[in-house]
């Protein structure tokens, strides 16, 4: 089975712009979660989607949003980018809640 894939792998944006990141889960997995990883804050939960519905959300401002499509692929969007949004964004998929999460390689976002 192919693993979780994320595109793009690297992205450079400037302040004020918006960005969309994509995640393709492992085939058959219906749950997709997003995390932000920074040296200062570590790994922080952003949100989780299951069957196109957001079931859980972390403590991030409304500039961070996401969605999931009927094929379980997910996108996350960050609007009005700030320098502090520079991070590695990780996506993880699992069959269902409480099942093992499998992580993608991440998208490295740099905001200048």
Q: Which is nearer to another protein, 21 or 90 (CB)?
A: 90
Question: How many helices (H) and strands (E) would you count in the chain?
Answer: 0, 11
Cβ neighbours of residue 81 closer than 8 Å, sequence gap 6 or more: 13, 14, 15, 16, 17, 18, 19, 111
- Give residues with Cβ within 8 angstroms of 59, minimum separation 6: 44
The residue (of 13 and 30) whose beta carbon lies closer to another protein is 30
Nearer to another protein (CB atom), residue 9 or residue 15: 9
Nearest to 65 by CA among 79, 80, 56, 77: 77
CB of 70 to another protein, least distance (A): 19
Name the CA radius of gyration of the chain, rounded: 13
Least distance CB 44 / another protein (angstroms): 8
Q: Which is nearer to another protein, 43 or 83 (CB)?
A: 43
Interaction site with another protein (CB under 8 A): 3, 31, 33, 35, 42-45, 48, 50, 55-56, 58, 90, 92, 94, 97-98, 100-106
Closest separation in Å from C-beta 73 to another protein = 17
């Amino acid at each position: 089975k192919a693993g979780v894939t994320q595109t793009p792998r690297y992205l450079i944006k400037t302040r004020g712009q918006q960005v969309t990141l994509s995640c393709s889960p492992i085939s058959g997995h219906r749950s997709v979660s997003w995390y932000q990883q920074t040296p200062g804050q570590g790994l922080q939960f952003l949100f989780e989607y299951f069957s196109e519905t957001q079931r859980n959300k972390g403590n991030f401002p409304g500039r961070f949003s996401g969605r999931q499509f009927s094929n379980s692929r997910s996108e996350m969007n960050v609007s009005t980018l700030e320098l502090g949004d520079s991070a590695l964004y990780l996506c993880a998929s699992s069959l269902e809640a409480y099942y093992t999460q499998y992580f993608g390689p991440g998208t490295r976002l740099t905001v200048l």
